[in-house]
Amino acid sequence: MEVILKYFSDFTETQIEQFTRLKDLYIEWNQQINVISRKDIDELYTRHVLHSLSIAAVCPFNPGMKIVDIGTGGGFPGIPLAIFYPEVEFLLVDSIGKKLKVVQGVADAIGLKNVKILHSRMEEIPQQTFDFAVSRAVAPLKDLWKWCKPYIQKRKSTELANGLICLKGGDLAQEISESGLRPTLWDVDRIFPEPHFKDKYVVWVGK
């Protein structure tokens, strides 16, 4: 938890309690359904929570906005972002039901009121609109954009135009080329200078 407070300080007591409870909850759930590796559990706040919050550092969300997390897995980046933005609505989508059981359990335990869970593929969810789609290491950029584009409202709700914000790592040159898109990239280790974030990026595609 200390690494979160190293970079963010303006939290309510409720938010601090919610963030603090995450590690014990994920340890408990991981014993039933393995969604996070042992090594990552030990560094949950850096590798998962802070990494998720790099999206918040790049693109602040405003109250009332609607965000969809594509392939949320164990709840990242959706759960940390939902704690960070209690007045923003989040829909966490995944095609693997047992992972969503963990996400729902964590959200219920910490009292997150702004999160809904949906067992579905992104491209099959009921028609609705969002300001942004977020995702972490789920699929190639071209697929993420194809899945979310029909659901994104074309407007500028915050500092960036509405679109896709995803977390990716490694050499993205070929993936970007194959996507036919012109994304903007931010180095996560420049946002949060931690060794784990070397060669990790926040990637934005605007609609």
Pure H helices in the chain: 2-7, 13-30, 38-42, 44, 51-58, 78-84, 97-110, 141-148, 173-179, 188-191
Write the CA distances from 145 to 11, 24, 51, 85, 176, integer angstroms: 32, 34, 21, 24, 11
Tell me: is residue 136 an annotated ligand-binding position.
Answer: yes
Tell me: is residue 71 an annotated ligand-binding position.
Answer: yes
The rounded distance, in Å, linking the Cα atoms of 127 and 167 is 25
The residue among 152, 205, 156 whose CA lies nearest residue 179 is 205
- Residue 166 identity (one-letter amino acid): C
Q: What residues are designated binding site?
A: 71, 76, 136
Q: What residues are designated binding site for S-adenosyl-L-methionine?
A: 71, 76, 136
